[in-house]
């Protein structure tokens, strides 16, 4: 998780400024959606992409951070019928809005996607396209937002719900689903940082008779090569799925590059380990803070 903050000059300066502000009586708790945090008190920019592991850090109050998967591609392994699918993802965006110094709300939307299904037996390939689902998420930082450099850890709660936008286009989910993710981050020696997630999502049963829990877990090791460049190495899994091929386990790696304190580029690739996971999933993205 390259967005997990390791020890660095920028983070140290930001922490020092926040501590100085507190000495002067400038508590950040006074800031809100309608009273934005001033530039001099902003935390170092952290993102919930490019890896799967969510960060425990929130966007400063009154600020908006837009994180976009500019383009993503995934090729599946054969399903039970031998069908292989190619998935194309365009401009899936997570808009993060800081509500208070320790809480934010997110809106995640995929404006357009394409799925090509190629059957193993002789036949006609199928194509689905359209708008994906809408995810509404909230993040509540419990500790570490402004004290990570000192405390060495951070923890948050991230409840979410996924809503269908078009139940018949093959891109959007057909049913409402939801769950909870618990992100945690640890400061490690040197320029390393570790992010971990555990969570549960309730998904619709295949026979549509009810819901069942699927369990999420991931760990991402980040390294800060410089103030601008970072890399991550990740393992992520989803257990107790309805897929007859079993659980999903993925290995991922990628990098982030900070163009400025409010703009970050990234790219990465995920490689499936189990038969239920996609074979390969490369992507590129952009994050901007306002």
Domains of the chain, CATH where assigned: 9-289 (2.40.160.40)
Which pLDDT score, from 0 to 100, does residue 111 have? 97
| Residue 126, CA distances (Å) to 80, 83, 114, 129, 245 in order | 17, 11, 11, 10, 22
User: 153: how many CB neighbours lie within 10 A of its CB?
Assistant: 14
Q: What average pLDDT is seen over the chain?
A: 90
Determine what percent of the chain is predicted with pLDDT higher than 70.
91
Q: Across the strands, what pairs with 255?
A: 231, 267
pLDDT at 26: 62
Provide the sign of the torsion angle of the four alpha carbons 290, 163, 137, 70, taken in this order: negative
How sure is the predictor about 122, in pLDDT bands with cuts at 50, 70 and 90?
confident
Burial class (CB within 10 angstroms; exposed 0-12, middle 13-18, buried 19+) of 168: exposed
* pLDDT over 60 at 13, yes or no: no
pLDDT in tens, 139-172: 999 999 999 999 999 999 999 999 999 999 999 9
Mean pLDDT of 110-137: 92
Share of the chain above pLDDT 90, in %: 81
Give Rg (Cα) of the chain. Answer: 20
Residue among 136, 167, 108 nearest 285 (CA): 108
C-alpha to C-alpha distance for 258 and 118, rounded to whole angstroms: 39
pLDDT (tens digit per residue) in 220-257: 999 999 999 999 999 999 999 888 889 999 999 999 99
Query: Integer distance in angstroms from the first to the last C-alpha of the chain?
Result: 22
- Per the CB < 8 A criterion, the answer to whether 25 and 167 are in contact is no
**DSSP letter string, 142-153:** EE-TTTHHHHSE
Closest CA to 148 of 264, 241, 48, 11: 11
Residue 21 has pLDDT above 80, yes or no: no
CA-to-CA distance for 61 and 44, rounded, in angstroms? Answer: 14
pLDDT band at 24 (very low <50, low <70, confident <90, very high): very low
Pick from 193, 163, 253, 162: which is nearest to 56 by CA? 193
Residue 117 neighbours by CB under 8 Å, 6+ apart: 83, 84, 85, 125, 126, 127, 128
Contact predicate 144/155, CB 8 Å: yes
Question: Is pLDDT above 90 for 72?
Answer: yes
* φ, ψ at 168 (rounded to 5°): -120, 5
pLDDT single digits (tens) 246-288: 999 999 999 999 999 999 999 999 999 999 999 999 999 999 9
Query: DSSP letters along 53-103, please?
Result: SPPSPPPPTT-EEEEEEEEEEEEPPP-TT--EEEEEEEEEEEEEEEEETTE
Collapsed DSSP state (helix, strand, coil) of residue 172 = coil
pLDDT of residue 264: 98
**Residue 187: is its pLDDT beyond 90?**
yes
As a whole number, mean pLDDT of residues 126-134 equals: 95
> Which stretches of the chain are DSSP H helices?
9-23, 148-151
Take residue 196 and report the two structure tokens written for it: 């971990």
């Amino acid at each position: 998780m390259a967005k997990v903050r390791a020890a660095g000059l920028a983070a140290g300066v930001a922490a020092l400024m926040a501590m100085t502000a507190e000495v002067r009586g400038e508590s950040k708790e006074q800031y809100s959606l309608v009273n934005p945090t001033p530039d001099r008190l902003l935390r170092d920019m952290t993102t919930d992409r490019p890896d799967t592991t969510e960060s425990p850090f929130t966007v400063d109050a009154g600020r908006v951070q837009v994180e976009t998967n500019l383009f993503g591609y995934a090729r599946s392994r054969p399903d039970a019928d031998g069908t292989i699918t190619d998935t194309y993802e365009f401009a899936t965006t997570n808009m993060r809005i800081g509500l208070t110094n320790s809480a934010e709300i997110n809106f995640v939307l995929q404006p357009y996607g394409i799925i090509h299904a190629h059957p193993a037996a002789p036949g006609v390939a199928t194509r689905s396209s359209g708008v994906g689902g809408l995810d509404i998420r909230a993040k509540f930082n419990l500790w570490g937002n402004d004290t990570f450099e000192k405390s060495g850890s951070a923890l948050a709660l991230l409840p979410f719900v996924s809503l269908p936008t078009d139940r018949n286009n093959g891109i959007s989910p057909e049913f409402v689903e939801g769950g909870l993710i618990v992100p945690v981050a640890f400061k490690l020696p040197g320029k390393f940082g570790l992010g971990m997630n555990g969570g549960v999502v309730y998904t619709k049963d295949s026979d549509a008779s009810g819901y069942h829990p699927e369990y999420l877990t991931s760990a991402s090791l980040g390294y800060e090569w410089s103030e601008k460049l970072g890399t991550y190495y990740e393992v992520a899994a989803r257990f107790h799925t309805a897929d007859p091929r079993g659980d999903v386990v993925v290995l991922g790696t990628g990098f982030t590059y900070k163009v400025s304190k409010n703009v970050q580029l990234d790219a990465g690739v995920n490689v499936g380990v189990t038969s239920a996971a996609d074979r390969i999933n490369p992507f590129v993205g952009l994050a901007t803070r306002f």
